[in-house]
Amino acid sequence: MKFWKFLIIRILTCLLTIWIGVTILFFVPRFFPSDPIEGLVMQMTMLYGNMDPAMQESIRATLQAQFGLEGSLFTQYLHFLRNGLLGFDFGPSLMNFPTPVTDLIAVRMPYTVFLSLFTTLIAWVVGNLIGLYAGFRKDKRSARVMEMVAIFIYPIPYFLVALILQIVFAFLLGWFPLTSNIIFHMGPWVWFTSLIRSSILPALSILLIGVGWWILSMKALASSIASDDFVSYARYRGISESKIAGKYIFRNSMLTQVTALALALGGVFSGALLAEIIFNYPGVGTLVQQAIMQSDYNMIMGTITISIVAISVATLLVDLLYPFFDPRIRYS
């Protein structure tokens, strides 16, 4: 009974969060002095050199009619809530009119998810294991070395790590392609191997940077819990070290780290932006970037709504799963 009440309230707050989030997202870009139609007309003028003002006016009027932005802001908002939030239909991409935003995202989403999901999860597992070890056995030399390595790697700007990997492994050694190249027309096996070959360097670069933070945060958590009274008490009682590490320290720090993971997973959709740019990896990140630069409202809403829904659901799940990790937390 209590569980069901908790569940319903939690789901409602989750929906509320999503609603507030997308509402902010809907209005913020529209209150800024930026207009996709003007951007498009300007790009055309640049390509053609110069255009008769009458011709420019004609193009502008057509785009305004097509993009359906001429209704009142509130009508547009209701339209977005109905079609976008409920039906995941965000309308046509303004920069690729009339192709629907959903189509463009659908082509790239699997690749982004493939790259980011795996790297985020691996970084989390590896980072937390090392962090746990470093925090629990903090006086050991190996623990210190690992921590030092993490401290050094974490603050290096991402682009530098990516560039070094690219220069060494793709250019000098030639083990991987310089630029991502996923080959479709030669059968599933070639597709798969080319996907793997194209993904290793970007994945490695994200992993190297990602792991650092997990090590550091887990180490801090673990060592602070390790010095806690109940751990000393457990030691007095003669509980084995491995059991202390697993049962006491691991479980107590997991709460924080699982929450953090849920949030990091949301970054899966836009987080790999730089990796996509540097390695020319096909993904959603570059779509988001181009959409913002060109004020493609529908594309911005499409990509970011998906991201907001994904993070909200992930955090909801974490909240629901809390008690399984730590029975002392009750649903309330």
Which of residues 5, 8, 11, 28 is near other proteins by CB under 8 A?
A: 28
Minimum gap (Å) between residue 122 Cβ and other proteins: 21
Q: Does 172 bind other proteins (CB under 8 A)?
A: yes
Q: How far apart are CA 184 and CA 186, in angstroms?
A: 6
Minimum gap (Å) between residue 60 Cβ and other proteins: 7
Helix intervals (H) in 244-296: 251-266, 273-279, 284-293
Burial annotation 73-86 (CB, 10 A radius, 16+ → b, else e): eeebbeebeeebbe
Minimum gap (Å) between residue 195 Cβ and other proteins: 10
Q: Which of 273, 268, 311 is nearest to 290 (CA)?
A: 273
Q: How far apart are CA 136 and CA 114, in angstroms?
A: 33
Which of residues 11, 106, 125, 160 is near other proteins by CB under 8 A?
A: 160
Q: What are phi and psi of 296, to 5 degrees?
A: -80, 85
Q: How far apart are CA 198 and CA 200, in angstroms?
A: 6
Q: Which is nearer to other proteins, 245 or 268 (CB)?
A: 268
Q: Which is nearer to other proteins, 245 or 282 (CB)?
A: 282
Which of residues 24, 78, 117, 145 is near other proteins by CB under 8 A?
A: 24
Say whether 70 sits in a helix, a strand or coil: coil
- Each residue 106-135 as x (binds other proteins by CB under 8 A) or -, in order, gives -xx--x------------------------
Q: Which is nearer to other proteins, 134 or 245 (CB)?
A: 134
Helix intervals (H) in 186-250: 187-226, 229-236, 241-243
Stretch that binds other proteins, among 68-76, 82-90, 118-126, 310-318 (CB under 8 A): 310-318
Q: What are phi and psi of 316, to 5 degrees?
A: -60, -45
Number of residues that bind other proteins (CB under 8 A): 125
Of 244-283, which residues contact other proteins (CB under 8 A)? 252, 255-256, 259-260, 263, 266-267, 269-270, 273-274, 277-280, 282
Which of residues 199, 205, 294, 298 is near other proteins by CB under 8 A?
A: 294
User: In this structure, how many other beta carbons lie within 10 angstroms of the beta carbon of residue 167?
Assistant: 12
Of 35-94, which residues contact other proteins (CB under 8 A)? 35-36, 38-39, 41-44, 46-63, 65-66, 93
Find the helix or strand (DSSP H, E) in which 113 lies. helix 101-136
Q: Which is nearer to other proteins, 231 or 245 (CB)?
A: 231
First-residue to last-residue Cα distance in the chain: 11
Specify whether the CB–CB gap between 249 and 136 falls below 8 A.
yes
Stretch that binds other proteins, among 68-76, 81-89, 119-127, 216-224 (CB under 8 A): 216-224
Minimum gap (Å) between residue 163 Cβ and other proteins: 5
